[in-house]
């Protein structure tokens, strides 16, 4: 059974700490609350909690995860405690899961754990996430780091942690028993207008770039097949769908003669093409209900070894959905006819993916995709399937 450590400092946010404790214990996960000074700890709203032990009595080797609640002055008290920083470094060195909510992600940043990571926090603290890419979402997962925005997201935070430690089925079961509203159901997803806008954007790109005709849909199908293998939730599949279908939308800002040029590109033209992830990001970053998929569009040309673009991210620094789209995009590019070459045989394309594991592609995602190709093809009903 998983075992979790939650350090409690004077002035902690009671909702964030106790909600998580409640959810994890419902999942029969062993949770240990440890006071920084003694077992009696008073929160930011004068609620006193009797912790299980003190931080001096715990051994990091006994735990699978550490969770930092937010609140003030609780966060500052955590941040100023050398023992907390030592525990964070020890957990991170073992690639154990580390989670923080509200203001407390700044403690992770101060410990140097968020460099080139995607994270969230209470909005007024976003400028203190040194080295991180701030994402305005209730819960953000990046490798072994889980962050959340604040008291109102504590249930989502606790369920995400439960999913990580006990599996998605356990988290879903607890969510239903607690009558938690399905956060993936939003009015906008029921509106035909939103989906029609997505189709119009893709259609506009396909009119400009003859190569992209059908490319976006195929990349989406390949990406969703990987997502299904990874047992992504419906809301996660929807985000993957949006990122995959719009991954090349930035090419709308690239000259047609460059996109359809039959000869090799010049250095200038190559730079123009490489700008499309940035242009795509600028294209959608301000659009409500699309801005959260920016990391997929921005980073789908990053390479596992750090040689990609535009940010030269490496390994799990690259967002998961961007790694998925990268494999799907490259495979479809290889098997499709281009203006300057004929498409490759599928077996040859698969061999290329295998050859570039650990350099261009996430080796795990490549293996999952090959499994997908060997199974029955994953098909979406139409473009409105996830709306």
Instruction: Verify whether residue 372 is a known catalytic residue.
Output: no
Dihedral, CA atoms, 338, 340, 345, 349, nearest 10 degrees? -80
Closest listed residue to residue 118, CA positions, set 95, 138, 146: 146
Taking the C-alpha atoms of residue 8 and residue 139, their distance in angstroms, rounded to an integer, is 21
Dihedral pair phi/psi, residue 343, rounded to 5°: -65, 155
C-alpha to C-alpha distance for 133 and 111, rounded to whole angstroms: 16
Paired tokens of 309: 């673009």
Catalytic residue among 102, 121, 141, 372: 102
Computed on alpha carbons and rounded to an integer, the radius of gyration of the chain in Å comes to: 23
**Beta strands in the chain, from DSSP E residues, in sequence order:** 3-8, 30-35, 40-42, 48-50, 53-54, 65-68, 97-101, 118-119, 133-134, 139-142, 145-148
Planar angle of CA 332, 336, 341, nearest 5 degrees:
130
Residues 139, 157: Cα–Cα separation, whole Å: 6
Q: Which of the residues are catalytic?
A: 102
């Amino acid at each position: 059974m998983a075992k979790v450590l939650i350090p409690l400092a004077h002035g902690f946010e009671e909702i964030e700490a106790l909600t998580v404790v409640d959810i994890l214990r419902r999942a029969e996960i062993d949770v240990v609350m440890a006071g920084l000074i003694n077992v009696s700890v008073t929160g930011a709203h004068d609620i006193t909690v009797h912790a299980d032990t003190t931080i001096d009595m715990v051994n990091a080797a006994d735990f699978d995860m550490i969770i930092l609640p937010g609140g003030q002055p609780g966060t500052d008290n955590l941040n100023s405690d050398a023992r907390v920083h030592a525990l964070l470094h020890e957990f991170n060195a073992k690639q154990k899961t580390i989670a923080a909510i509200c203001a407390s992600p700044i403690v992770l940043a101060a410990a140097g754990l968020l460099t080139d990571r995607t994270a969230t926090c209470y909005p007024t603290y976003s400028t203190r996430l040194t080295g991180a890419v701030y994402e305005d979402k209730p819960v953000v997962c990046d490798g072994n780091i889980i962050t959340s925005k604040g008291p109102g997201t504590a249930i989502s935070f606790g369920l995400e942690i439960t999913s990580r430690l006990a599996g998605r089925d356990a988290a879903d079961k607890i969510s239903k028993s607690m009558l938690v509203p399905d956060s993936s159901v939003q009015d906008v997803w029921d509106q035909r207008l939103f989906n029609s806008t997505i189709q119009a954007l893709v259609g506009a790109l396909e009119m400009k770039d003859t190569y992209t005709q059908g490319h976006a849909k195929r990349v989406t199908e390949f990406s969703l097949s990987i997502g299904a293998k990874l047992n992504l939730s419906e809301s996660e599949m929807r985000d993957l769908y949006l990122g995959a279908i719009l991954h090349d939308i930035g090419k709308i800002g690239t000259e047609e003669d460059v996109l359809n040029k039959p000869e090799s590109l010049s250095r200038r033209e190559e730079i123009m093409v490489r700008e499309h992830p940035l242009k795509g990001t600028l294209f959608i970053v301000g659009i409500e209900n699309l801005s959260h998929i920016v990391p997929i569009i921005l980073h789908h040309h990053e390479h596992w070894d750090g040689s990609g673009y535009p940010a030269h991210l490496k390994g799990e620094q690259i967002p998961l959905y961007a790694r998925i789209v990268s494999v799907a995009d490259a495979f479809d590019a290889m098997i499709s006819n281009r203006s300057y070459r004929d498409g490759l045989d599928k077996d040859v394309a698969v061999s290329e993916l295998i050859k570039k594991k650990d350099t261009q592609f996430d080796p795990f995602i490549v293996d999952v995709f090959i499994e997908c190709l060997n199974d029955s093809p994953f098909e979406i009903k139409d473009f409105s399937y996830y709306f």
